[in-house]
């Protein structure tokens, strides 16, 4: 699986929010902590907010926080928001035909794994048994 830089930044920003103490986290703090270009981060945070994964508050005491507990937001939730969902079904000619089933099984395994791992797992450094 290839993840775009945008998706990797989104995952890092979300984990930063998961690890933060309760309350709004300024975008500048997220950008600095995760070495994400600020303009890029602002667009990512907007996308995550529109998807209902994070909340925001404006003003001097403003910032961003997770919309749900970190143990209720999976890596798949974030990846789907940023990357979208691929519905491609590959077909291969002749004797290579069974490869399509291999790629489908691989995508299903990836999705299952990314659904089981939450932001809380990453923030705590404790991955579930896979």
Domain chopping of the chain, boundaries:
5-124
Pair 31, 38: CB distance under 8 Å? yes
What pLDDT is recorded for position 82?
Answer: 95
Quick one: pLDDT at residue 78? 97
| Cβ-defined contacts of 98-102 (< 8 Å, 24+) | none
CATH of domain 5-124: 1.10.10.10
Instruction: Say if CB 41 and CB 12 are below 8 A apart.
Output: no
pLDDT in tens, 37-88: 999 999 999 999 999 999 999 998 899 999 999 999 999 999 999 998 766 6
Residues 89-116: tens digit of each pLDDT: 778 889 998 888 888 898 899 999 999 9
Residues with Cβ within 8 Å of residue 13, at least 6 apart in sequence: 30, 34, 36, 41, 44, 45, 48
């Amino acid at each position: 699986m290839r993840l775009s830089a945008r998706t990797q930044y989104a995952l890092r920003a979300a984990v930063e929010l998961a690890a933060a103490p309760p309350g709004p986290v300024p975008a500048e703090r997220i950008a600095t902590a995760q070495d994400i270009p600020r303009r890029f981060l602002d667009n990512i945070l907007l996308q995550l907010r529109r998807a209902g994964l994070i909340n925001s508050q404006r003003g001097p005491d403003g910032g961003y926080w997770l919309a749900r507990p970190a143990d209720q937001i999976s890596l798949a939730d974030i990846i789907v928001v940023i990357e979208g969902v691929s519905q491609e079904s590959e077909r291969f000619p002749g004797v290579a035909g069974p490869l399509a089933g291999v790629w489908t099984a691989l995508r299903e395994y990836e999705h299952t794994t990314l659904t089981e791992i939450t932001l809380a797992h990453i923030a705590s450094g404790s991955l579930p048994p896979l």
